[in-house]
Amino acid sequence: MTASIRPRRSALYTPGSNARALEKARTLEADVLIMDLEDSVLQDKKAEARSTIAAALKGGGYGDREIVVRINAADGPWGAEDLAFVAQSGADAVLLPKVEHADQVWFAEEALATSGAPASLSIWCMMETPLGMLHAEEIAGASPSLGCLVLGTSDLARDLNALHTRDRLPFLTSLGLCILAARAYGLAVLDGVYLDLDDAEGFEDVCWQGLQLGFDGKTLIHPAQIATANAAF
């Protein structure tokens, strides 16, 4: 699945268990809304989060925003239910966490098909581990259903024992590998989040750096970051 021309300048993570945040997202200028079932949702709230996202999508009102649902690990305790849910949710894409091999894409693709997912449902992959970076080409070419690679630099920093520096030199090799793989296979590619919400200047700098490197947009953790990302990309 080659990258479409729809804008992906700003991709906002929104906790799937937070109905108020999902409601507010209808009014935000983010190009992409990533409704999260994974990191931002407590273990005992996973089923509730699926129901909350289902109600939000049924209610509509998101306009032309691209709707993506990030699931828990497909082979984990919530993965099967997450995939079955997304298949029938009406979302534009499913985001798989910590993808390290092509067979994770194939597994999800088969599960989605079994659950009756439409052919238009795209598969996105979180690239957030050293092994994922080394296998970026394999992952990017895994399936025609693949639409986007999404950098997860927070988890990557921990695995690399690297620091979050303003120039992001510790991540440039990893970022470059994913950009190369995405472009080689006609995929979109989104930059990782910026965690320091009090450092507006630093965030603007990394947005412009992301543009210069070749990213299509940036993933975000707060609505206050949307305008800057949209202006940069």
17-40 pLDDT, tens per residue? 999 999 999 999 999 999 999 999
The residue behind tokens 């620091």 is 163
Average pLDDT of the residues in 199-213: 97
Percent of the chain predicted with pLDDT > 70: 98
The answer to pTM > 0.85 is: yes
Contacts (Cβ under 8 Å, ≥6 apart) of 134: 177
Looking at every residue in the chain, the average pLDDT score rounds to 96
Burial class (CB in 10 A: 0-12, 13-18, 19+), 110: exposed
Q: How open is the CA angle 129-132-134, to the nearest 5 degrees?
A: 115
Phi and psi at residue 226, to the nearest 5°: -65, -50
pLDDT tens by residue, 171-190: 999 999 999 999 999 999 99
Average pLDDT of the residues in 79-94: 98
The whole-angstrom separation of Cα 117 and Cα 111 is 9
pLDDT tens by residue, 96-130: 999 999 999 999 999 999 999 999 999 999 999 99
The whole-angstrom separation of Cα 16 and Cα 53 is 6
- Residue 60 has which token pair? 């509509």
Helices 172-184 & 200-213, crossing angle to 10 degrees?
40
Strands (E), the chain: 10-15, 32-36, 66-70, 93-96, 122-127, 146-151, 188-191, 217-220
DSSP 75: T
Which pLDDT belongs to residue 3?
A: 53
**What is the bridge-based pairing of β-strands 93-96 and 188-191?**
unpaired
Which pLDDT belongs to residue 5?
A: 73
